[in-house]
Amino acid sequence: MARHYVSPAAICPFYKMEETTKVYCKGIEEGALSIQSWKTDAKAYKDRYCKGAWARCPVARMLFDKE
Q: Hey, what's the torsion of the CAs at 39, 41, 44, 50, to 10 degrees?
A: 100
Q: How far is 30 from 40, CA to CA, in rounded Å?
A: 30
pTM summary value:
0.87
67 has pLDDT over 70? no
Q: How far is 21 from 62, CA to CA, in rounded Å?
A: 21
2 has pLDDT over 70? no
Contact present, 42 and 23 (Cβ < 8 Å)? yes
**What confidence tens digit (pLDDT) does each residue in 3-51 have?**
788 999 999 999 999 999 999 999 999 999 999 999 999 999 999 999 9
Which of residues 18 and 65 earns the better pLDDT score?
18
